[in-house]
Structures are given as C-alpha cells and as structure tokens.
Amino acid sequence: MPSLNLSNLFRRGADRRSLKERAADLRASFSAGRSLAPAQLAPGSAEAKAAWRAACHQHSIRALPLHDYPELNHPTGGAWTTRGLMRAMEAGEITVAEFAQLQPIASERELRLAEITHELRIGELFALAHADEYPVASDQDASAPRTPDPVLAAIASSQSAEAVMTAFAASVAGRRMTDAERIQEDAIERDQRATRAAVWATVPTTAEGRAALVRYAAFQAELAFGADWRAKARQEFCGDFLLAALAAVEAETEREGA
C-alpha cells in the first residue's frame, strides 16, 4: 500500500501556534480543575453522579484545544494515535519517516488527555457514579491486592466523551447551530471516535476488565440502535455473540452477588 502524502502536513501558518505553545497553555490550565471532585462521595449517590457530570463537562472544555492537531487528522476520519501509527507502520501504510514525524505529536496529545483525565479523577468518579452496576466484593476479596485493568480507564474516557456529546446535543436541540457550535460538535465527535478506538484497542488484563468490555460493547450497541438494541443487534453480524457474552457476564455477576 502506498504511503500517505504528508508533504504539506507540517506547514504551519503564521497565525498557528506551535505545539510547545499549545502544551504550555494546557499545562497552565490543569490546576483549575484539581478540586472539582470532593474527597468523599458515597458510591451511587446523587452527589457522585452530579460530580461525574460536572467532571465530564470540564473534560469537554479542557480537552477541546487538543482537537487542534491538524497534523494528526486521519485520512478516514478521527485522529492518529500512537497505537494506530505503530500498526500503520507495521502494515506498510506509512513510512518509518512519517511515523517518526507523527509519533511525538500523537504522544504529546495523548499525554495531555491523560493528564486532564487524571486531574478530573474521571476513572474514580465514573466508578462512584455507576457503583450500582458492579458486584459488591466480600471482605476476603477486599483484602486481596488488585491490579487496575487498563481497559477500565479507557472505558471511563469513552463514557465521558459520550456524556459530553449527549449534553451538547441536548443544548442545541430544536434549533439551528451556530458556526462555532458546529466546530465544537466536530471536535466532540472526533473525541468520541478516538476514545472508542482506544477502548477497542485495549486488551483487558483481568476478569473485571473483560466483563466491563462486554458491558461497554452493549452500551455502544444501545447508543447505535436505541432502546430496542437487542432485537436490532441480532440482525447484525456478531450480534448474537454480543448478547451471549453479555448474558454470561450478567449470570456470573448474579452468582457472585448471591
């Protein structure tokens, strides 16, 4: 497969700010959200859910400048990620030189997104807000050391992006969007695609992560097909597999909670 034509990709106009300048602005803004999440929130409480929604809103605001990376625009939509670049280089879709040019930019962007997610405690608040969806561990289980599964953080970021889009859609429902709002919508959609892709690219390392990934797949199916997603999923390729996997996860959860 021929490599992508990136000859004009790195030409920055006089009015465009450098990567270092953008990164400096982002670092300066990180302290603004450090105290958004209360230290103690009851799992599943209204306060936890409100804090989760507030964090999602702040995530949207603070992550918006990170969509200003035209160098990373993917030919088929979305943005290049470090993982995607590696796979593209291994498949011969881009050259080593192109990878070397784009990888530091993609890595910088992902670092900033990770810092925002960390500062806003997205993973923690997601778990607290959705506490009712997880089985309760016994005292014996609680004493055993646990290793965080990387897919859980990826899912939390994607859930955040989906919540941001839901809130944005509600804010413009029933009226014509302004040009600025259309630009904002495009940025939010790119974040949706990027965070979804990150989930699908992350391999769970624990049983908890595998179960969460199945539930996430069902969540995405509901977003795509609506409330009657189960019936529509059966008409799609692998729909039966998804439903069977979800049933197995739910059955296992019920057994653990019995």
Tens of pLDDT, residues 121-178:
877 887 888 777 666 654 455 555 557 788 888 888 888 888 888 788 878 778 888 8
Asked whether residue 226 carries a pLDDT value surpassing 70, the answer given is yes
* Residues 55 and 156 both lie in one domain: yes
Percent share of the chain, pLDDT over 90 = 3
Q: Which of 16-20, 87-91, 173-177 has the highest mean pLDDT?
A: 87-91
Q: What is the pLDDT of residue 3?
A: 47
Per-residue confidence band for 235, with pLDDT thresholds at 50, 70 and 90: confident
Per-residue confidence band for 98, with pLDDT thresholds at 50, 70 and 90: very high
| Mean pLDDT calculated for residue range 7-35 | 50
Report if residue 134 sits inside a domain: yes
| Mean pLDDT calculated for residue range 46-69 | 79
> What span, in angstroms and rounded, lies between the C-alpha atoms of 151 and 173?
33
Return the structure tokens found at 83. Answer: 């993982």
What pTM does this model have?
A: 0.46
* Residues 194 and 229 both lie in one domain: no
| Mean pLDDT calculated for residue range 217-241 | 78
Average pLDDT along the chain:
75
Higher pLDDT: 23 or 178? It is 178
Q: What is the pLDDT of residue 179?
A: 84
Question: 132: left (phi > 0), else alpha (psi -120 to 50), else beta?
Answer: alpha
Q: What is the DSSP letter of 33?
A: G
CA atoms within 13 A on the CB side of 221: 23
What digits encode the pLDDT tens for the residues 180-215? 888 888 888 888 888 888 888 888 888 888 888 888
> What span, in angstroms and rounded, lies between the C-alpha atoms of 171 and 231?
30
* Residues 200 and 231 both lie in one domain: no
Q: Residue 153 in contact with residue 117, Cβ under 8 Å?
A: yes
> What span, in angstroms and rounded, lies between the C-alpha atoms of 158 and 149?
15
* Residues 168 and 80 both lie in one domain: yes
Question: 49: left (phi > 0), else alpha (psi -120 to 50), else beta?
Answer: alpha
* Residues 57 and 133 both lie in one domain: yes
Return the SS3 of 136.
Answer: coil
Nearest to 250 by CA among 133, 124, 154: 133
> What span, in angstroms and rounded, lies between the C-alpha atoms of 223 and 218?
9
Q: Residue 55 in contact with residue 125, Cβ under 8 Å?
A: yes
Report if residue 245 sits inside a domain: yes
* Residues 255 and 221 both lie in one domain: yes
Token look-up 């040009």 returns 179
Close Cβ partners of 218 (under 8 Å, ≥ 6 residues apart): 229, 242, 246
Return the SS3 of 15.
Answer: coil
Which residue segment(s) compose the domain that 255 sits in?
206-258
Asked whether residue 90 carries a pLDDT value surpassing 50, the answer given is yes
* Residues 95 and 185 both lie in one domain: yes
> What span, in angstroms and rounded, lies between the C-alpha atoms of 140 and 54?
34
- CA dist 155 to 43, 150, 162, Å? 18, 9, 10
Q: What is the pLDDT of residue 237?
A: 65
The total of structural domains in the chain comes to 2
For residue 79, the cross-strand partners are 73
Per-residue confidence band for 99, with pLDDT thresholds at 50, 70 and 90: very high
Alpha helices in the chain, H assignment, sequence order: 19-29, 46-63, 82-90, 96-119, 122-129, 139-143, 150-172, 179-201, 207-225, 229-233, 239-257
Q: What is the pLDDT of residue 2?
A: 46
Q: What is the pLDDT of residue 9?
A: 41
* Residues 193 and 219 both lie in one domain: no
Return the structure tokens found at 110. Answer: 């992902």
Q: What is the pLDDT of residue 35?
A: 44
> What span, in angstroms and rounded, lies between the C-alpha atoms of 137 and 181?
44
Higher pLDDT: 250 or 205? It is 205
* Residues 194 and 220 both lie in one domain: no
